[in-house]
């Protein structure tokens, strides 16, 4: 039933009875999932909703077409099929549906065999650890799954390379020293050509082999079939290869092997995870605003940010296990919606900034500004009702009651300051509800992208960054070749020799080289870059 206009117009009403009526009418709940969504403290007025309703109808149609196999990512000429991963019968091509089912089965069997110790390293010793190598969508989902779902003593300990920071490599490898021959190394890259996981893989391989391990008996590839990584893994006979389907984007790949494999390796119920996502997909297909939680979210985001991201989304999960959810959403939302051009080619600079960490920790960090400072955000509270039984009250003090009280307190304090917030409550946090929560945001992002007419499934900015970085590395190679003759040169001389517009990139490269034992010297004042003479001795 459509929410009454006077209720919609009552944001921040002082009268408690009006507030209560608004809460009741703008509260969505699903009994099967045990999830509530409350958007009563978002400022969605009747005029805004009137404008949004026909556009939402078109957004529902677009999402239905996407699920039916339309080329929803025209820039890459790709279908967008993450909804098929949790309901393979939806896949428009029955072969694809069958392939999804087979992959799920293979992942479950593989994970079970690794955890049971029946699938071992080359020396017949069970695996003790997992090193996961992947970045962006290939890293954040697994980080979230393992942090949210692993219980103490269950499954294998996880370690991550999600960057090319040598200090990160070194610390992670030091933590694995002595166990590298029993570490399962999973290299994840949809494209199979991203530099970060490639470099991580090379470092991991060297370290594993230095301890006497057999790389191909310990390595697993998760990538698009036929990619460079897949070809290497096939040629070298790696322990396993799993498909990261062409029609699944990195940031929506968590219901593929990217999320399922780490889930089974930490002993989580990934069948439940898929079922939760599938059940939420059913809810978010409802073609009306009031009965569709993803549409409520998308409409609330739109209204808060006036359709152009004027307010940031602050994510506050009140559970440590969900700490990574803020970062996960940051990628899902910002990489999907942060676009320069709309689908008609107009410059729009769309986006929706996301940040957050966890409650009530953040109460003692930035919530002060949320309450009293610049009104450029809306908070998204995430609450879990069922508490773990093992933490007993002491002298009648129940920590979970404090956590719950802090949430309500912050929510009320924000309201008093006229600040907007929405709240998602999970009856319990488990694999099923996590799958549902992720699916809720995936669909909200898809619907919001339709409302603002951007392609949510490409990432031209990421590609541009990759290209620019490759250009700098090429420049460094040319610079090192030039300086190989041992002659000292100024930045201006180097700039001219390399036909550059500016010496600045050379200064950055040489400052880094000189800070390390790479054979380069600088004579002159570092604070006056033009005075410096660089040479290789």
Nearer to ligand PA5, 137 or 213 (CB): 137
Q: Is 266 helix (H, G, I), strand (E, B) or coil?
A: coil
Based on the residue annotation, tell me whether 364 is a catalytic residue of this protein.
yes
Contacting range for ligand PA5; rule: CB under 6 A; set: 46-54, 57-65, 244-252, 409-417 = 244-252
* Cis previous bond, 360, omega within 30: yes
Based on the residue annotation, tell me whether 61 is a catalytic residue of this protein.
no
**Residue 40, both tokens:** 């009563």
Contacting range for ligand PA5; rule: CB under 6 A; set: 108-116, 134-142, 276-284, 286-294 = 134-142
Evaluate whether 402 touches 409 at the Cβ level (below 8 Å): no
Whole-Å CA distances, 309 to 72, 296, 298, 300, 335: 22, 16, 12, 11, 13
> Sign of the CA dihedral 446, 449, 454, 456?
negative
Query: 189: phi > 0 → left, psi -120 to 50 → alpha, else beta; which?
Result: beta
Nearer to ligand PA5, 194 or 432 (CB): 194
Nearer to ligand PA5, 107 or 513 (CB): 107
- Window 48-87: residues binding ligand PA5 (CB under 6 A): none
Which of 197, 213, 307, 351 binds ligand PA5 (CB under 6 A)? It is: 197
- How far apart, in whole angstroms, are the C-alpha atoms of residue 343 and residue 450? 10
Nearer to ligand PA5, 242 or 534 (CB): 242
Supply the minimum distance, in Å, between the C-beta of residue 132 and ligand PA5. 12
Supply the minimum distance, in Å, between the C-beta of residue 296 and ligand PA5. 25
Q: Which residues of 488-511 are buried (b: 16+ CB within 10 A; e: fewer)?
A: bbbbeebbeeeebeebebbbebbe
Decide the pairing of beta strands 420-426 and 35-38: antiparallel
Interaction of residue 137 with ligand PA5, rule CB under 6 A:
yes
Supply the minimum distance, in Å, between the C-beta of residue 134 and ligand PA5. 6
Number of residues that bind ligand PA5 (CB under 6 A): 15
Which of 135, 239, 277, 337 binds ligand PA5 (CB under 6 A)? It is: 135
Q: Which residues of 409-443 are buried (b: 16+ CB within 10 A; e: fewer)?
A: ebbebbbeeebbbbbbbbeebbbbbbbbbbbbbbb
Contacting range for ligand PA5; rule: CB under 6 A; set: 48-56, 201-209, 245-253, 521-529 = 245-253
Nearer to ligand PA5, 251 or 489 (CB): 251
Candidates 67, 103, 335, 450; catalytic one:
335
Which of 40, 87, 138, 423 binds ligand PA5 (CB under 6 A)? It is: 138
Nearer to ligand PA5, 291 or 330 (CB): 330
Q: What is the dihedral of CA 467, 470, 471, 472, to 10 degrees?
A: 130
- Window 424-483: residues binding ligand PA5 (CB under 6 A): 459, 462
Residue window 176-195: x/- pattern of binding to ligand PA5, with contact defined by CB under 6 A: -------------xxx--x-
Supply the minimum distance, in Å, between the C-beta of residue 258 and ligand PA5. 8
Supply the minimum distance, in Å, between the C-beta of residue 71 and ligand PA5. 17
Interaction of residue 251 with ligand PA5, rule CB under 6 A:
yes
Nearer to ligand PA5, 274 or 456 (CB): 456
Which run of H or of E encompasses 262? helix 257-265
- How far apart, in whole angstroms, are the C-alpha atoms of residue 110 and residue 104? 10
**Chain residue whose CB lies nearest ligand PA5:** 250
- Window 323-382: residues binding ligand PA5 (CB under 6 A): 335
- How far apart, in whole angstroms, are the C-alpha atoms of residue 414 and residue 382? 15
Rounded to the nearest 10 degrees, the angle between the axes of helix 195-210 and helix 460-483 is: 60
Which residues sit opposite 423 in a β-bridge?
Answer: 38, 381
HSE toward the beta carbon, residue 131, CA cutoff 13 A? 31
Nearer to ligand PA5, 133 or 173 (CB): 133
Number of H helices, E strands in the chain: 20, 14
Which run of H or of E encompasses 477? helix 460-483
Candidates 31, 89, 364, 467; catalytic one:
364
Q: Can you tell me which residue has the tokens 């500016």?
A: 502
Whole-Å CA distances, 377 to 36, 42, 418: 22, 11, 11
Residue window 272-311: x/- pattern of binding to ligand PA5, with contact defined by CB under 6 A: ----------------------------------------
Cα–Cα–Cα angle for 98, 70, 330, rounded to 5 degrees: 90
Interaction of residue 222 with ligand PA5, rule CB under 6 A:
no
Which of 81, 249, 263, 356 binds ligand PA5 (CB under 6 A)? It is: 249
Evaluate whether 490 touches 529 at the Cβ level (below 8 Å): no
| Cβ neighbour number for residue 228 with a 10 Å cutoff | 14
Q: Can you tell me which residue has the tokens 């917030």?
A: 421
Contacting range for ligand PA5; rule: CB under 6 A; set: 69-77, 135-143, 263-271, 386-394 = 135-143
Strand arrangement of the beta sheet that strand 489-490 belongs to: 489-490, 533-536, 520-523
- How far apart, in whole angstroms, are the C-alpha atoms of residue 370 and residue 379? 9
Supply the minimum distance, in Å, between the C-beta of residue 11 and ligand PA5. 35
Candidates 99, 228, 466, 478; catalytic one:
466
Which of 88, 200, 250, 317 binds ligand PA5 (CB under 6 A)? It is: 250
Supply the minimum distance, in Å, between the C-beta of residue 189 and ligand PA5. 3
Nearer to ligand PA5, 198 or 378 (CB): 198
- How far apart, in whole angstroms, are the C-alpha atoms of residue 437 and residue 425? 10
Nearer to ligand PA5, 473 or 515 (CB): 473
Based on the residue annotation, tell me whether 335 is a catalytic residue of this protein.
yes
Q: Footprint of ligand PA5 on this chain (CB under 6 A)?
A: 135-138, 189-191, 194, 197, 249-251, 335, 459, 462
By annotation, the residues acting in catalysis are: 335, 364, 466
């Amino acid at each position: 039933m459509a929410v009454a206009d006077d209720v919609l117009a009552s944001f921040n009403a002082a009268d408690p009875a009006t507030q209560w009526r608004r809460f009741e009418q703008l509260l969505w709940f699903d009994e099967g999932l045990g999830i509530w969504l409350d958007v009563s403290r978002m400022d969605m007025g009747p005029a805004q909703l009137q404008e949004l309703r026909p556009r939402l109808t078109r957004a529902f149609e677009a999402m239905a077409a996407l699920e039916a196999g339309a080329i929803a990512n025209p820039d890459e000429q790709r279908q967008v099929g993450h909804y098929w991963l949790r309901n393979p019968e939806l896949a428009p091509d029955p072969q694809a549906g069958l392939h999804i089912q087979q992959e799920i089965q293979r992942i479950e069997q593989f994970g079970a065999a690794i955890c049971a110790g029946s699938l071992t390293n080359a020396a017949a010793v069970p695996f003790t650890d997992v090193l996961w190598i992947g970045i962006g969508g290939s890293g954040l989902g697994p980080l979230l799954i393992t942090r949210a779902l692993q219980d103490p003593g269950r499954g294998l300990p996880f370690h991550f390379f999600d960057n090319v920071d040598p200090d990160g490599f070194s610390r992670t490898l030091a933590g694995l020293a002595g166990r590298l021959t029993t570490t399962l190394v999973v290299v994840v890259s949809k494209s199979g050509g991203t530099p970060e996981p490639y470099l991580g893989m090379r470092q991991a391989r060297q370290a594993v082999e230095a301890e006497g391990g057999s790389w191909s008996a310990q390595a697993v590839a998760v990538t698009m079939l036929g990619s460079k990584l897949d070809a290497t893994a096939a040629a070298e006979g790696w322990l396993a290869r799993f498909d990261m389907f062409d029609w699944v984007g990195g940031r929506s790949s968590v219901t593929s092997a990217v999320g399922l494999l780490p889930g089974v390796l930490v002993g989580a119920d990934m069948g439940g995870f898929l079922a939760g996502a599938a059940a939420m997909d059913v809810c978010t297909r409802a073609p009306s605003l009031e009965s569709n939680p993803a549409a409520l979210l998308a409409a609330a985001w739109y209204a808060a940010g006036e359709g152009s991201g004027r307010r940031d989304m602050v994510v506050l999960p009140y559970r440590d296990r969900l700490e990574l959810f803020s970062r996960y959403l940051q990628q899902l939302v910002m990489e999907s919606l942060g676009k320069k051009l709309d689908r008609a080619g107009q410059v729009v600079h769309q986006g929706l900034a996301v940040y957050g960490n966890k409650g009530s920790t953040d109460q003692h960090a930035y919530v002060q500004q949320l309450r009293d400072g610049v009104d450029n955000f809306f908070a998204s509270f995430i609450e879990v009702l069922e508490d773990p039984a093992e933490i007993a009250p002491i002298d009648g003090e129940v920590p979970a009651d404090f956590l719950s009280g802090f949430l309500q307190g912050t929510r009320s304090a924000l309201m008093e300051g006229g600040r907007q917030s929405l709240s998602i409550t999970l009856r319990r946090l488990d694999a099923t509800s996590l799958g549902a929560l992720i699916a809720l945001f995936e669909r909200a992002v898809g619907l919001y992208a339709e409302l603002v007419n951007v392609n949510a499934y490409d990432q031209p900015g990421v590609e541009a960054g990759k290209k620019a970085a490759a250009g700098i590395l090429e420049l460094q190679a040319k610079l090192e070749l030039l300086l190989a003759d041992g002659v000292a040169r100024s930045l201006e001389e180097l700039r001219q020799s390399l036909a550059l517009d500016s010496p600045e990139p050379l200064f950055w490269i040489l400052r880094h080289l000189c800070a390390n034992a790479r054979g380069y010297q600088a004579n002159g004042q570092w604070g006056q870059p033009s005075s410096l003479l660089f040479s290789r001795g």
